[in-house]
Amino acid sequence: MAGNNSLELEIHSLFQEGLPLETICAEIISKYEKIDVLSPFESESISHFLIAAGKIHLLFKFYLRCLRKNSLAQFPWGYLASAIMQTESQLSDDLIDLIEMGLAAQADEQSALKVHTLLQSIPALQSRLQNQKQLFEIDQMQTKVRLMAQLNHNRLYQLKELEEQTLQQLVKIFPQDIEVKLLHQAHLEKKADEILAKIRLTPRSPSAMKKMLEQAHPDSEEFVENLKKQTRLLARRLKSEQPDQIYNLTMLAMQFELFDLALEIVNEGPATFASEWLKAEILFESGRFLDLLKHIENIETKMTATPESTYGAVYLKAQAYFGLGQKEIAIQLLESLSEKVPSYRSTEALLHEWKTS
């Protein structure tokens, strides 16, 4: 028997006890049905045994019960096809339902549709599957239309939380849909802009921050360490409960100029377009210009370019080169940006400052 050695030994032991075949089959099936998840190796072993024993009807019932409790790691389509070829009686609707359940349980598994003997054995299967596919596509289309209408309504009335929830539903149900991908990308860019706007509009004075920390506790170093500890604990909790709030916590760390902590915290959140650009801003604010250039290069390689992301990359590269003392390269980059979007992050004013410095 091609299969599990322990199963072979168990079957051999049961035969040695003189038990009838029906009892042995019942014992084996009962044992395997108690397993939470059957590995492909285990499901193939018991399939081989029941087919060899001529207990095709028991095999079909075993498959059906396993599918209902979702205990098959991978459906053994090859053994099912082999079993069907050995049946001489008229195939029941229950058997066809079993195959359809198997397909539904493993949407990415296409081997059943490619088993020529299986389709030959059940001529009605192909048409039933095609009808189900058409009904599914119609249902998906109606769902998308409904969610898109809901998304537009939430945007029109500026219901931001509901807009976010609806968009997440669309992404979950239609992960490969081009239109949904574009909507999701635009939404992430908008969130990134909002985060960067908050950072730019909030004034920060290094001396003021240091003074505040000193006044907060006689031993400012101890206070900072305690602040870091509490912030890390909060970040871990938010990671499991409200991961989107990690960005706000990151910006709080930036306000206290705890840039290493800010980088640590933002890495606890979901890896998104917005989080990658927030990392870039942290590197810029902390003066880590070489790391900033490497990070921007990584973003450009991994993420889809948009006009806004292109402008942001050029701007931060210019700032990094200027910080590294490469003034000419920095000015050239900023001039190229100024020609296209002179109002971007006060580019013209910054360019004038650099040229006259």
Task: Show the 3-state SS of the chain.
Answer: CCCCHHHHHHHHHHHHCCCCHHHHHHHHHHHHHCCCCECHHHHHHHHHHHHHCCCHHHHHHHHHHHHHCCCECCCCHHHHHHHHHCCCCCCCHHHHHHHHHHHHHCCCCCHHHHCHHHHHHCHHHHHHHHHHHHHHHHHHHHHHHHHHHHHHHHHHCCCHHHHHHHHHHHHHHCCCCHHHHHHHHHHHHHHHHHHHHHHHHCCCCHHHHHHHHHHHCCCHHHHHHHHHHHHHHHHHHHHHHCHHHHHHHHHHHHHCCCHHHHHHHHCCCCCCHHHHHHHHHHHHHCCCHHHHHHHHHHHHHHCCCCHHHHHHHHHHHHHHHHHCCCHHHHHHHHHHHHHHCCCHHHHHHHHHHHHHC
The pLDDT confidence band at residue 283, using thresholds 50, 70 and 90, is very high
Q: Please say which residue of 256, 278, 300 terminates a domain.
A: 278
Q: Mean pLDDT across the chain, nearest whole number?
A: 77
Residue 194 shares a structural domain with residue 162: no
* Mean pLDDT across 154-159: 77
The rounded percent of the chain whose pLDDT value lies above 90 is 2
Residue 109 shares a structural domain with residue 145: no
For residue 164, pLDDT over 70 is answered with yes
Residue 95 shares a structural domain with residue 26: yes
For residue 121, pLDDT over 70 is answered with no
Residue 156 shares a structural domain with residue 117: no
In a domain, residue 129? The reply is no
Residue 82 shares a structural domain with residue 170: no
* Mean pLDDT across 190-208: 56
pLDDT tens readout for residues 286-325: 899 999 999 988 888 776 667 777 888 888 999 998 988 8
CATH classification at residue 339: 1.25.40
pLDDT the model gives residue 114: 43
171 is in which domain, residue-wise?
Answer: 139-175
Residue 116 shares a structural domain with residue 212: no
Q: Please say which residue of 258, 278, 298 terminates a domain.
A: 278
Q: Please say which residue of 238, 260, 278 terminates a domain.
A: 278
Total domains, the chain: 4
pLDDT tens readout for residues 259-281: 888 898 888 888 787 788 889 99
* Mean pLDDT across 162-167: 88
pLDDT the model gives residue 340: 79
pLDDT tens readout for residues 11-53: 888 888 888 888 899 988 988 888 888 888 888 888 888 988 8
In a domain, residue 180? The reply is no
For residue 97, pLDDT over 80 is answered with no
For residue 229, pLDDT over 50 is answered with yes
In a domain, residue 83? The reply is yes
pLDDT the model gives residue 136: 73
Residue 274 shares a structural domain with residue 307: no
The pLDDT confidence band at residue 108, using thresholds 50, 70 and 90, is very low
* Mean pLDDT across 220-245: 79
| Cα 100 from chain centroid (whole Å) | 27
For residue 93, pLDDT over 50 is answered with yes
pLDDT the model gives residue 218: 46
Residue 291 shares a structural domain with residue 266: no
Residue 326 shares a structural domain with residue 300: yes
The pLDDT confidence band at residue 195, using thresholds 50, 70 and 90, is low
State the amino acid at position 132 in one-letter form. Q
For residue 118, pLDDT over 60 is answered with no
For residue 1, pLDDT over 50 is answered with no
